[in-house]
Structure 1
Amino acid sequence: MSRDASVPAREDFAGVVARLAAAQKRRAPGSPAYSIYVNRPVGRRFAAAAYLAGLTPNAVTAISAAFTFAAIAVIALVPPTPLVGVGIGLLLMTGYALDAADGQLARLRGGGSPAGEWLDHVVDAAKLSTLHLAVLVGWFRFVDLPSPALLLVPLGFAIVAAVLFFAMILNDFLRRRDGGTRARTEGGGIRSLLVLPTDYGVLCIAFLAFGAPIVFVPLYGLLFAANAAYAVLALPKWFREMTRIAP
């Protein structure tokens, strides 16, 4: 029996992925390499699966949050072992890929909503702070650190992550209000590699080693130092950009 031509054919997974790739928003110049070349393509496939399953972008945001906050709870509550560390890393990486999927799904469905964007940003803000505070709790409870002063590292990381996230969100808001005429144009492939230590995806990968403190503690400290240095350089630059935006 032939199919009724008036009934649209159901898209397959590959077709949806192709449509998502065509509708992909332009990447910001110099964006971190992992987020662009790994996380976004993986998120595209999650978005295609969610689209075929009939999920909404807000539902995908909620699923992303479930993976991420499950990992954060394990960091704070479960003694670290190599297997636990791998589980934490995989949960965080999956949550991050799903975080990339909700916006792509919204564009595929015709555009997002202010409520959806608000929810996405609030979840991101919560995870960035609580992730590092969970490290502080986990280290205090389970890890024999060389010095108690190292407990200040996750505390400092939480502050740096929150400030950078808020600054970047505010940058986007003020640039859009200005008509987008002063958006960033500098940077490219090399810059994408240079800023890899500031990529949240790289932090997620680092948590694969959480169960081996002899590896994770110095690695986490290096990522904190890189993010703090980036903040010291980026925040004055962004402020100068804002002074050029008309009031």
Structure 2
Amino acid sequence: MRSGESTVTTYRQAVEQLSVAQKPGRGAPPYSRWINRRLGRWIAAGAHLAGRTPNQVTMISAALSLAGILIVALVRPQWWTGLVVAALLVLGYAFDAADGQLARLRGGGSAAGEWLDHVVDATKICLLHSAVLISFFRFSDLPHAMLLVPLGYEAVSSVFFFTFILVEKLRKSAGRQAHRGNEAGSGLVQTALAAPTDYGLLCLVFVVFGWTPVFATLYTAMFAAHGLVLLVALARWWRELSAGGHSS
């Protein structure tokens, strides 16, 4: 057994240990903060007792998400397709939250595991919006200009994901990550402002995927809000890193 690895033997012990070891939620988007991390905790506890590894959990997450994405791209929207897609995406996201928690429960993750997790996340973002574009093109009577929405959403989501991961790495290398996590307050304002970037909320939007006009309206609103948050975040991160002495 590796040093620091958990010796819990019951599901309840695993959940309790994960609750104590939970990453700070300050400023995280609402669904991710209050729902998905809890779902991930339950899954991680069960996976630990079943002897699963974090990488195996990551691949289950990828498979569930891919199944939902394929339905979006290949199946004509109906009332039930949205429910199935949303369920698969939500489950995939919950398993995505579980792999890191399982790694902590087992005594720590690996660089390869973190890399795999980020690769799956980046791929999932690109494929999901590409699938929406394909569905709009194949199955809907929406104006052709609507095809620009998933194309733009893919760009905004990918840029946000990359820059967020990068700024976290730069903070860590500058020794400022701990200070950020210990800021006073619960971060409820930041959580509310981060809602448009919440992948979990986007998953729930797919519940109405079978009603194309309704879905297109909500999807476009999420895209516009996400784009606005990206612009604000880029300006904030640039000021922060410039003040910290980073330069290209």
Q: Distance in 1 between matches of 2:243 and 2:100?
A: 30
Match for residue 6 of structure 1?
none
Partners of 2:68 and 2:121 lie apart in 1 by 14
Choose from 149, 155, 169 the match for 1:153: 149
Aligned to 2:17: 19
Render the CA deviation track for 1:184-235: whole Å, top value 9, x for unaligned.
7487113312321220100000011111112101000000000011111111
Residue identity matched to 2:166: L
CA contact (8 A) 2:8 2:14 kept: no
User: Residue 143 of structure 1 is aligned with which of 136, 140, 144?
Assistant: 140
Q: 1:56-88 deviations in whole A, cap 9, x for unaligned? A: 000000000000011111111111111011000
- In structure 1, the partner of 2:206 is 207
CA 1:162–1:10 in structure 2 vs 1: closer, same or farther (change >3 Å)?
A: closer
Question: Unpaired segments of 5 or more residues in structure 2?
Answer: 1-6
| 1:237 alignment partner in structure 2 | 236
Q: Aligned to 2:83, what secondary structure does the other structure show?
A: helix
Structure 1 180/32 Cα, relative in aligned 2: closer, same or farther at 3 Å?
A: same
Structure 1 length-normalised TM: 0.92
Q: Which residue pairs with 2:54 in the alignment?
A: 57
Give the structure 1 partner of residue 88 of structure 2.
91
Structure showing greater Rg: 1
Cα deviation, residue 10, structure 1: 6.8
1:102 is the counterpart of 2:99: yes
Deviates more, 1:13-22 or 1:190-199: 190-199
Inter-partner Cα distance in structure 2 for 1:214 and 1:26: 38
Percent identity, aligned pairs only, is 49
Tell me if the contact between 1:133 and 1:158 (Cα under 8 Å) persists in the aligned partners. yes
Which whole-Å CA distance do the structure 2 matches of 1:103 and 1:180 have between them? 21
* CA RMSD in angstroms, aligned pairs only: 1.6
Paired residue type of 1:53? A
Question: What is the DSSP-based 3-state SS (H/G/I as helix, E as strand, rest coil) of the residue aligned with 1:183?
Answer: helix
Residues 98-137 of structure 1: pairs in structure 2 closer than 5 A: 98-137=95-134
- Contact 1:178-1:246 within 8 A present in 2 as well: no
1:45 Cα deviation after fit: 0.3
Contact preservation (8 Å) 1:48, 1:105:
yes
Tell me the residue number matched to 2:76. 79
The separation in 2 between residues aligned to 1:19 and 1:194, in whole angstroms, is: 30
Instruction: Report the residue type matching 2:204 in the other structure.
Output: I
User: Which residues of 2 match residues 187-206 of structure 1 at below 5 A?
Assistant: 188-206=187-205
The match for 1:45 is 42
Q: Residues of 2 paired with 1:226 and 1:35: CA distance?
A: 17
Alpha-carbon distance between aligned partners in 2 of 1:235 and 1:114, rounded to the nearest angstrom: 27
Structure 1 portions without partners, runs of 5+: 1-8
2:220 is the counterpart of 1:221: yes
User: Which amino acid in 2 is paired with 1:107?
Assistant: R
Give TM-score, length-normalised by structure 2.
Answer: 0.92
Distance 1:194 1:157, change over 3 A: same
Which piece of structure 1 moves more, 170-179 or 185-194? 185-194
What amino acid is the match of 1:117? Answer: E
Moved more, 40-49 or 177-186: 177-186
